[in-house]
Amino acid sequence: MILLRSARMKVFTLLALTGIFFLSGCAESANIEGAKFPIQSPQSFDVSDATFELSQQIPAGAITVVVEYVDALNFALDTGDLRRLNKSAKSSCTCLKPASGIKELYREGVVVEGRYEITQLKPISISKDQIALQLFLERSNTLQLNLESGVALKIPGMASNATLEIEKIQNNWQITSSSL
């Protein structure tokens, strides 16, 4: 794109895309207006209680699908390779929206740091072949380095949550939709 040749326009475009990401409801930060999600403090999450609660209610295969999704999200953020992320859920799932933001980050540079962590999973509804979960995530600060200009852009960490619908399709659990 001709407009993206100057470093200033590249930074502006990245900031605009980050703003779209926040405003689309994919993220929340205390100082950014837009779609607001409650921030879940990781300190209020007792891992031992959650593990017991989840193991008693949610099939291991369904939990594994969520963990693999977050792992694929981290892999995409680390490498710019979106294949694992795009295969981690049904192709129509809005949980794949972050792929476009990651693709844009890697268009003009590389990403250093930044990692998503699950802070909490809350079961909403559970049936034999369908589960709804509330997924709480935190992403640490991310640094994008523009290879042409040498400009480094710090993208602040964030906390967000989403409702995930997980279905058992042909004996395999799959994320089919989300509130992202």
pLDDT, position 115:
93
Domain count, the chain: 1
Q: Which residues contact 66 (CB under 8 A, 6 or more apart)?
A: 118, 121, 133, 135, 164, 166, 175
137 or 48, greater pLDDT: 137
Nearest-angstrom CA–CA distance, 73 and 78? 9
Domain of residue 151, residue span: 2-178
- Enter the pTM of the model: 0.68
Residue 79 CB-density burial (10 A; 0-12 exposed, 13-18 middle, 19+ buried): middle
pLDDT, position 14:
52
Q: CATH number of the domain that 31 lies in? A: 3.10.450
Query: Residue 22: which pLDDT band, with cuts at 50, 70 and 90?
Result: very low
100 or 52, greater pLDDT: 100
pLDDT higher than 90, residue 26: no
Closest C-alpha among 61, 88, 58, 70 to residue 161 = 70
pLDDT higher than 50, residue 40: no
Nearest-angstrom CA–CA distance, 113 and 155? 10
